[in-house]
Amino acid sequence: MEEAIRQRVRAHDKYQVEFKLDYPLLPKRRTRYQITTYLFVPSSLAIRSDTYSKTEFYRDIQNYVRLQTPLVPLHELRCATDSPLLRLQQLVDSLPAPQPRYAQQYTPQQHSVDRQIVNCLKFMRAVLRSSLRLELRLIRRIDRQRIDAAARVTQFRTMTANAIQELHAILDHFRELGAQLGRLCNNPQIQHAYRLADESISLVVEEFLVNLFRLVSQTPESTVRTDLERQIEKEIEAEIAYRQRVRYPALLHPDSDNEVFLNRASTLKKYASSVLYLSLTIHREGTALEHVLFALAAGLSMIFATIVAFYFQGRYGYFTFPVFAALVVGYMFKDRIKETGRTLFAHVLRRFLFDRRVTIRTLDGKRRLGFLREKVTFVEDGAIPANVLAVRNRRFAPELDVAGSGENVICYTKEVVLHADAFRQIATGGPAIAGVHDIMRHDVRPYLRKMDDPYERRYYVKDGKLSLARCHRVYYLNVVTLYTSEGKHRFQRLERTRIALTRKGIERIEQFA
């Protein structure tokens, strides 16, 4: 189970780091994970509790939770019983013969079938993309195999040819189903959904072929490279010609700025991927308990003020100067007792409660799938676990890596609870859901404000001459992630990532085992 939990960190763009974590659904009814991320920030960047608040931190992160795309090998897409392609075939076969418009009756059952068809169309694109990426990885592995050159060439050529042939068969089947939908279904929304899915799939196929062409171009064997490049180029041209023939707008023009193409491709991707994304509802945690405790603090302060008033009124009478002075002093202390109590109770709440609770639902909001709880704090050096510090300093000399200016440490904790039974009831039009992807993007621009220039020139002497050398200045943001699975299969694992930053943004990201 430990190997199934994977975290990948990459640069989403120049200013955003993307943390992607996979949570498999455990066999039991409820799956619970806790992920604690320690960000070691150089103190020279002035990221402290008084300069970087919780509100700013949550503003700089963006969370996405989506279903994990089932991994189906390319050669099984046409034969696997839970393949979205076969599921789409079954739905198309169940459609009744087309009727005249005046005789059409749109029943709730037909509405359900139409919704399943749209989900199948979207899911087909997601599963095909995952299958093609797996196929590329398998072809890349040929170069790593310890076999002679002739066998490697034969295997490379065979796998590439088989992938293209299987892709042809899948596309022919899918587009034949599209033609049947056009003949059997009078619902224009279904026909529009098919065109959007087909256009998105065409772009996925072209992307796969281009990546395959790049892979082939790196092959040292020239004879294999020339033949396969020519074959793949024809396949790319055929796919582009198909989009032109059916009048799909997503066409790349080398002599244009391709603004329309990029926008269209992004929109199609979001449309087709919407079947995987889940709805997130964010609210503060413990607001009711907070109000109760704050009311208790106000009650305690009122008890003190009332006791003071009763005591002095009983001793000096109702309208005397000592009673007047006692009421004023009592009110002053009453106000301070209330504020002190609020501060004390808020501190206690922060120890046991999280900052936010994020409810996970299906995109239509009808089914509750689980929730996330998030909390962020700045921690002192003495409060950092020893195993986290050990991983932080691994492969580096601690006295050099953190000496001098020191580091400020942000601790971001996330608790994830997933209801496995609810996930099993989701109808996606494809294989059963095995887990979810938790994607968090963190904007690093607040860390760049206090940085020095990214380059500095230093003098040096060589061969009796004074010269200038250009030095590249980077700042290291070290991230240590501790994630834990609770229950019968409990485990813990630590991972370290180092992010090199300059004033211009993310320079590179390194992950350490």
Per-residue pLDDT tens over the stretch 3-12 = 456 778 899 9
Residue 488 and residue 429 share a domain: yes
> Residue 5 carries which DSSP code?
-
Cα gap 87→432, rounded to integer Å? 13
- Residue 494 has what pLDDT? 86
Residue 235 and residue 133 share a domain: yes
| Residue 303 structural domain | 286-352
- Residue 444 has what pLDDT? 93
Alpha carbon 82 to chain centroid distance?
26
Residue 38 and residue 114 share a domain: no
Residue 81 and residue 204 share a domain: yes
**Final residue before a domain boundary, out of 247, 275, 303:** 275
Residue 25 burial class via C-beta count within 10 angstroms: exposed 0-12, middle 13-18, buried 19 and up: buried
Compute the CA torsion angle 18, 23, 24, 26 (nearest 10 deg). 180
Cα gap 444→128, rounded to integer Å? 34
Six token digits for residue 238: 């055929």
Region of residue 388 (phi > 0: left; psi between -120 and 50: alpha; otherwise: beta)? alpha
Cα gap 22→436, rounded to integer Å? 6
In a domain, 280, yes or no: no
In a domain, 362, yes or no: no
In a domain, 365, yes or no: no
Residue 109 and residue 54 share a domain: no
First to last CA, the chain: 17
Helix (H, G, I), strand (E, B) or coil at 55: helix
Residue 244 and residue 301 share a domain: no
- Residue 397 has what pLDDT? 46
**Final residue before a domain boundary, out of 326, 352, 378:** 352
pTM for the predicted model, two decimal places: 0.78
CA separation (Å) from 422 to 13, 366, 369, 428, 447? 35, 11, 6, 13, 40
In a domain, 361, yes or no: no
Query: What stretches in the chain show pLDDT beneath 50?
Result: 1-3, 102-103, 397-405
- Residue 41 has what pLDDT? 93
Residue 82 and residue 14 share a domain: no
In a domain, 428, yes or no: yes
Residue 172 and residue 61 share a domain: no
Residue 269 and residue 132 share a domain: yes
Residue 375 and residue 305 share a domain: no
Number of structural domains (the chain) is 3
Residue 193 burial class via C-beta count within 10 angstroms: exposed 0-12, middle 13-18, buried 19 and up: buried
Residue 406 and residue 463 share a domain: yes
In a domain, 358, yes or no: no
Q: Which residues of 479-505 are buried (b: 16+ CB within 10 A; e: fewer)?
A: bbbbbebeeeeeeeebbbbbbebbbee
Residue 238 and residue 98 share a domain: yes
